[in-house]
Amino acid sequence: MVGSNVLTQRLLKLWLPLLLYGVFLLFPFAWMLIVSLKPDQLLLDTRRNPFALTSVTLNNYRYLLTETEFPRWIWNTMVVTVGATLLSLACSILIGYALGRFQFRGGNTIGIAIFLLYLVPPTLLFIPLSQIVAGFKLYNTYWSLILVYPTFLIPFASWLLMGYFRTISKELEDAALVDGATRLRAMTQIVLPLAIPGVLSAAIFCFTLSWNEFLYALVLMGSGDMKTVPVGVVSDLIKADVYFWGALMAAGILGSVPVAAAYAFLVDNYVSGLTAGATKG
């Protein structure tokens, strides 16, 4: 009696709502997967049940990988993402360290200013920025995005790292200084290794955000074979009114994998570790 009551409770409070949320949140992905595996004649036959996969084909994936520029878009996105992530990390570690561990006049104000910069959206700046990038002769080059993406990566990553550096005890570093280590040595050999979880979160954050960015990529690097995945998929796989649905959905699946993987890689850290530390206050 009691046991079945607990089970009903559990079903009503946990599994049923989870199922409903799951259907709503995952339905578009399931749909993408179905369409990407469907042969064209099945897809375009509107009398059939659209969810039924009576036959499966990998043609859409083959088409995408061999007949379109998709592999090149992946490469472009990779170059830009890695470049922007490394550059942003380098800058953000320095800023985060300075704001989190040094006391100096204006430190607080700069911290708040950097936070406010995080709220400045690309939609506000993309028009003048396109002129500036053209002026620097960077239009449609990898450098355009590698240099521009840090404008939204640095503010957030610096804040994140500033918070992280603050949690690392000052005594450790002071002890190293007393023992005769230089400031740089204490930083790179004592503090930085301890901050690695924070740096990794910042890296994942920069990676996914760069991979997903759309507007700057469209305006600054959106022509010829220089497109990134999101821009290439949206602008080249949709020609006027012709939709290559199968290939589009295949691109959606393949284009989501890197970020989903990057994120899954650290999901344990995120939800357990950081939250525990995060919510002490």
Does the protein bind other proteins through residue 142 (CB under 8 A)? no
Which range touches other proteins (CB under 8 A), out of 54-62, 66-74, 188-196, 247-255? 247-255
**Smaller CB distance to other proteins: residue 66 or 103?**
103
3-state secondary structure at position 179: coil
Does the protein bind other proteins through residue 172 (CB under 8 A)? no
Interface pick for other proteins out of 123, 180, 240, 241 (rule CB under 8 A)? 123
In the complex, the smallest distance separating the C-beta of residue 151 from other proteins, rounded to whole angstroms, is 5
In the complex, the smallest distance separating the C-beta of residue 220 from other proteins, rounded to whole angstroms, is 10
C-alpha distances in Å from residue 4, one per residue of 9, 13, 16: 9, 14, 16
**Smaller CB distance to other proteins: residue 58 or 243?**
243
What single-letter amino acid sits at 182?
T
The C-alpha atoms of residue 100 and residue 88 are separated, in whole angstroms, by 17
90-109: contacts with other proteins (CB under 8 A): 90-92, 94-95, 97-99, 102-105, 107
Q: In the numeric block, which tokens belong to residue 64?
A: 């995408």
Does the protein bind other proteins through residue 140 (CB under 8 A)? no
3-state helix, strand, coil in the chain (%, to 5): 80, 0, 20
Residues 278, 198, 160: CA angle, nearest 5 degrees? 65
Cα radius of gyration (the chain): 24
In the complex, the smallest distance separating the C-beta of residue 1 from other proteins, rounded to whole angstroms, is 22
C-alpha distances in Å from residue 263, one per residue of 28, 55, 169: 19, 32, 28
53-72: contacts with other proteins (CB under 8 A): none
Residues 214, 145: contact at Cβ < 8 Å?
A: no
Considering CB under 8 A, how many residues would be counted as binding other proteins? 117
Interface pick for other proteins out of 24, 54, 109, 240 (rule CB under 8 A)? 24
Does the protein bind other proteins through residue 152 (CB under 8 A)? yes
Interface pick for other proteins out of 11, 17, 56, 193 (rule CB under 8 A)? 17
What single-letter amino acid sits at 37?
L
